[in-house]
Structure 1
Amino acid sequence: MTRTEYSWLLPSAMVAAPELYDPEPAGGRAVRTDARGRPRRTVRDWIVDLVAFLFSVFLALVVIGESSRINGDGAGVVRFDEVVGLLSCCSVWLRRRLPVPLAVALSVLSVFSPAVAGPLLVALFTIAVHRPFPTVAAVGVTGLGLGLVQPFVRPDPGTTVLASIVVGFVILLLVTCWGMLVRSQRQLYVALRERARRAETEAELRAQQAQRLAREAIAREMHDVLAHRLTLLSVHAGALEFRPDAPPAEVARAAGVIRDSAHDALQDLRQIIGVLRAPGDGGSDDRPQPTLATLGPLVAESRDAGMTVRLDNTIGEPAEMSAVLGRTVYRIAQEGLTNARKHAPGAEVTVSVSGTPGDGVTVSVGNPAPGRPVTPVPGSGQGLIGLAERATLAGGRLEHGATEDGGFRISAWLPWAV
């Protein structure tokens, strides 16, 4: 017998989500079964069944004792109650396998013998816990209907018929409601477990998405940084190629710039690879992020590479600017210098930064048309796209394009909170 065929032993919530109730769910060891393929009872199941059996026996003994007092010793009615009570108590062990037939049969027997009261209550409680509401309602109505007949067939001399009917109705109703409450609590437990599992899955997906976004941000940073370094290598290597007769001092200076740029690019690659290997782990040797205060060294580095750069920075206190805003300004200036070095070597580049808190920051990098033919330097154009995304995320805007004199200009405005 498969688990589906045996599912009437379980609450509907357990059937719908059996993995939440299995002590060894899917992926672990298989659930132990008997020779017929049915799941074996656990220790808890045996304890519950034993308590239900003892409760039925106790209640049956009380009823049989009361019947002996009313009908006298040796009466046939007492013997009938003893036999029916014994069989009904033993039938409690079948409540997991045949709950509905057992409850209906005990309801019919309760009309003729009150000794069935204990097993009947156990059977009704089992159905209320393990079966859906329509089945519970049908069996409950059947039990209540037969309970109306029982006081007339086996009247109690010490109690009126109306009192017997009311007491029986209240007891059956309480037992049924108690079982339905247990069932609802189990279903709530399953729902909470499923919600917790879903929340864990969603949290894991959000973490993966955050990691992916972080990796994309690292990739953009890698493009911005390495493009700046590698263009220095390309420019100076090209100068050495086209001017093999340059003075030794210039050759040595160009070789030094190439060496320093290659070393810096290698360090940047090592840092990026370290971050990709352990996302979110920051070591004590992490290099500081660029800010507006490092804009001067960036311009000086470009001048050392042979570029003519004019810096016009009217912001007197870079520390007043947030680190994120300063880093964005730095990246815009860096990308503008990189593009000028690629496409307009020898042209003067103007970098201007101005603004005040509340009015925002204006950053522009422009250069005129190159004065001589330029050997094309390969590029993907992703740097400007990344700058536009960076400016948009900061709440600003960025524009770029050719000027009327054939040059190129990058202009951006970024908000600066007070």
Structure 2
Amino acid sequence: MTRTVRHRWLLPSHLVEPDGAGAGRPRRTVRDWTVDVLIFLLAAGFGLLAVDASARYDGEALVLTDQIVGALACCALWLRRRAPVAVAAVLAVTGALVPAAAGAMLAALFSVAVRRPFRDIAWILALALAGAVGTVFVRPDPETGAVLGITLGCVLTLLAAAWGMLVRARRQLVEALRERAERAEAEAELRAAQAQRLAREAIAREMHDVLAHRLTLLSVHAGALEFRPDAPPAQIARAAGVIRDSAHEALQDLREIIGVLRAPGDEGGGDRPQPTLATLGALVDESRAAGMRVRLDSTLDDPGAVPAATGRTVYRIAQEALTNARKHAPGTEVTVLLRGRPGDGLTVEVRNPAPDGEVPHVPGSGQGLIGLSERAALAGGRLDHGTAPGGGFAVTAWLPWPP
């Protein structure tokens, strides 16, 4: 990595221009015009004060010359964005000879301090200080002594340079904070996308396992028919019905897996059964055995009537919500609510009150809820999570349940 790239964050390209900058610059904005007009007026006002002071002891011809040169110096400030170093160098020499150009010189020095690297600031500042000292002897002011004139000139020059460097440092700080915020936002989006991808892969693996399980059952019954072609018609009809139902369910599962990728090289058997809504009670019992207080409130008469894919999604949502409650709200009573009927959809809600006292901080990635939202969206439903109205935390999901 080169030196320029390594220090880019210190001197952003739009704050500190490279050598020879100016060609192809963007057009001035309204803010740029406002700043340029303000600096022009300040430099002109400073020049008028200098002309008024010199008119007390200089001749009319010299005063007229000061006015003309001062006006040209102020007009040269309109070129400071295109060639700041050149304008500042010319005005530093001019300011040493013509006091009316001192205001324009300070403005040009300020622009160099804001926009240029330190090596340019250093020699322009040295030239300006030399001009501030030289103008005391070239155009002495009878009303002020040499020491006071040199002190005032040097102080004003150093203040202009310091102010410009302070403005540049502030701009660099703001730019660094903006880049850091954008980088953090990009990383958060990347983590969210990764969580969604992992959720899709998990769903694909589950669907793969379920599909393999159904096809295995289909193969077993088909093999039985092949092995016993002389079986009673009732037994053959029953086996054919099982084959038909298994094939129909396998097709439904296959439709759900379309568009969802399976992680490459993943190991795992394809014949292990997957959790459904009928096994939600076992999950609640397992949580109770682990020391949690869980209350299951369900209005479903037959959990087995819920589609298998919907039941698996509900199971995973309840599992993740119970895990989060165990980590972040230990000792509270967790309520799992199940409501719904065919045609209206299925609603599952897991909520817990706020824990009493101080809870030890348990680090978490925050990606589990993102994965659940992705899982619910893939199932055609939606998931909401956040602080409950009465305090605590609640996870609510709605999933379609065909009639």
TM band (smaller chain): 0.5 to 0.7
Structure with higher RCO (Cα < 8 A, 6+ apart): 2
What corresponds to 2:47 in structure 1? 60
Q: How many angstroms apart in 2 are the aligned matches of 1:120 and 1:44?
A: 22
User: How far apart are 1:246 and its partner, in Å?
Assistant: 0.3
Stretches of structure 2 that go unaligned for 5 or more consecutive residues are 1-9, 262-273, 291-403
Aligned AA for 1:58? G
- 3-state SS of paired residue (2:13): helix
Distance 1:322 1:229, change over 3 A: farther
Distance 1:270 1:180, change over 3 A: same
Q: Does structure 2 retain, via aligned residues, the 8 Å contact 1:99–1:123?
A: yes
Q: How many angstroms apart in 1 are the aligned matches of 2:16 and 2:52?
A: 46
Q: 2:225 aligns with which of 240, 247, 254?
A: 240
User: How far apart are 1:262 and its partner, in Å?
Assistant: 2.2
What corresponds to 1:320 in structure 2? 285
Q: Does structure 2 retain, via aligned residues, the 8 Å contact 1:293–1:318?
A: no
TM-superposition CA deviations, 1:33-70 (whole Å, max 9, x none): 9xx96644334333322222222221111111111123
Q: How many angstroms apart in 1 are the aligned matches of 2:81 and 2:25?
A: 12
Q: Does 1:140 align with 2:105?
A: no
Q: Summarize the alignment of residues 245-284 of structure 1 with structure 2, pairs less than 5 Å apart.
A: 245-273=230-258
Q: Summarize the alignment of residues 8-407 of structure 1 with structure 2, pairs less than 5 Å apart.
A: 13-15=12-14, 39-71=26-58, 74-273=59-258, 290=275, 294=279, 319-322=284-287
Aligned AA for 1:321? E
TM-superposition CA deviations, 1:305-350 (whole Å, max 9, x none): xxxxxxxxxxx97632149x9xxxxxxxxxxxxxxxxxxxxxxxxx
TM-superposition CA deviations, 1:231-280 (whole Å, max 9, x none): 1100111111121100112112212222232233233334444978xxxx
Q: Does structure 2 retain, via aligned residues, the 8 Å contact 1:13–1:186?
A: no
The alignment yields a C-alpha RMSD, in angstroms, of 3.2
TM-superposition CA deviations, 1:99-121 (whole Å, max 9, x none): 22221222122222211111101
- TM-score, normalised to structure 1, is 0.56
Distance 1:63 1:292, change over 3 A: closer
Q: How many angstroms apart in 1 are the aligned matches of 2:60 and 2:16?
A: 53
Q: How many angstroms apart in 1 are the aligned matches of 2:209 and 2:287?
A: 20
What corresponds to 2:266 in structure 1? none
TM-superposition CA deviations, 1:67-103 (whole Å, max 9, x none): 11234xx444323322321221222222223322221
- TM-score, normalised to structure 2, is 0.58
Aligned AA for 2:177? L
Aligned AA for 2:77? V
